[in-house]
Amino acid sequence: MAKVAPWHSVKPGTRPVYHDNNKCTEGNNIEMQYRRSGVGNGRLCEHCDRLDKNGQ
């Protein structure tokens, strides 16, 4: 599996990005208490974008 429903971090001081690929290490490292569904106010994470474009 790769592209999934988006999620983002609400932890203070984090970059305003969202993730949509379950292989993204940055997105997977978000602690559960800070993880929220949706895109928030961010743009797509560069790593997710690369994974999505490569079909991973």
Both tokens assigned to 13: 């001081």
- pLDDT at position 20 is 97
- Kindly give the confidence (pLDDT) of every residue in the chain, 56 residues in length, as a single tens digit, with 9 standing for 90 and above: 588 999 999 999 999 999 999 999 999 999 999 999 999 999 999 999 999 999 88
Report the length, in residues, of the chain.
56
Nearest 5°: phi and psi at 14?
-90, 155
**Domain spans, the chain:** 3-53
